[in-house]
């Protein structure tokens, strides 16, 4: 047991299913090295499972077989967690910082995730325009800034699956100009994990083009 790490919640087995052992390995690696590498803050260990790992894993059922990009993948939240959960989906983790890219590549190798590639770039400079079926992002920026960065990466009819906080409705209102410019439609806010985990996950989902 890693000192200070939140005990594994009972919901982890339900959410991860047959992928739980990989989920444990990733969580323990992040707990051991995350702070020193600047991936997570010093106060995150007591809530690592609940606030970060399960929070990310709940998004897995929203993904479809195809190519999914995770913008600003950082510690691998949600990208690596989702790659564990969905071996039938190809993930492109987009991250500009060299230290974080090295972490993502090492974890993908250690976890034997054959469905992961890591691209070192800012999303808008990644040469992935129109290449992705879905795009995820977590704790990157407000929708008015995030939509212009993520929407161009999608093929026509592709889908944004963006993890957001409690203020998502206000973000949607503030992003009206970007929503219209980038032809974002059928937008909805999904609340995941109610009655399963103590901290629910909110997702802004919409179609582009």
**pLDDT (mean) for 24-46:** 94
Q: What confidence tens digit (pLDDT) does each residue in 86-100 have?
A: 999 999 999 999 999
Q: What confidence tens digit (pLDDT) does each residue in 107-160 have?
A: 999 999 999 999 999 999 999 999 999 999 998 899 999 999 999 999 999 999
- Total Cβ atoms within 10 A of residue 64: 13
What is the reported pTM? 0.96
Q: What confidence tens digit (pLDDT) does each residue in 49-60 have?
A: 999 999 999 999
pLDDT(170) > 80: yes
Residues 79 and 115: beta-carbon distance below 8 Å: no
Task: Classify 138 as helix, strand or coil.
Answer: strand
| Closest to 134 (Cα-Cα) out of 120, 151, 114 | 151
**Integer distance in angstroms from the first to the last C-alpha of the chain?**
48
Report whether the peptide linkage leading into residue 78 is cis, meaning its omega lies within 30 degrees of zero. Answer: yes
Q: What's the pLDDT band for 19 if we cut at 50, 70, 90?
A: very high
| Closest to 161 (Cα-Cα) out of 27, 48, 50, 61 | 61
pLDDT(62) > 90: yes
Residues 143 and 164: beta-carbon distance below 8 Å: yes
Average pLDDT, the chain: 96
Residues 6+ apart with CB under 8 A from 4: 31, 45, 46
pLDDT(36) > 80: yes
pLDDT at 3: 84
pLDDT at 42: 82
- Higher-pLDDT residue of 199 and 183 is 183
């Amino acid at each position: 047991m890693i000192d200070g790490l939140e005990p594994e919640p009972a919901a982890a087995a339900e959410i991860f299913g047959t992928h739980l052992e990989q989920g444990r390995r990733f969580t323990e690696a992040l707990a051991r090295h995350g702070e020193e590498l600047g991936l997570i803050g010093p106060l995150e260990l007591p809530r690592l499972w609940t606030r970060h790992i399960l929070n990310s894993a709940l998004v897995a059922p929203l993904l479809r077989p195809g190519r999914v990009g995770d913008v600003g993948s950082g510690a691998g939240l949600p990208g690596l967690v989702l790659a564990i959960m969905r071996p039938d989906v190809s993930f492109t983790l987009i991250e500009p910082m060299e230290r974080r890219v090295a972490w993502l590549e090492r974890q993908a190798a250690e976890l034997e995730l054959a469905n992961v590639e890591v691209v070192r770039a800012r999303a808008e400079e990644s040469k992935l325009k129109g290449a992705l079926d879905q795009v995820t992002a977590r704790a990157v920026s407000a929708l008015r800034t995030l939509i212009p960065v993520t929407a161009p990466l999608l093929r026509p009819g592709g889908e944004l699956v963006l993890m957001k906080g409690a203020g998502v409705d206000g973000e949607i209102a503030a992003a009206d100009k970007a929503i219209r410019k980038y032809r974002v439609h059928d937008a909805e806010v999904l609340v995941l994990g109610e009655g399963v985990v103590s901290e629910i996950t909110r997702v802004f989902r919409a179609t582009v083009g």
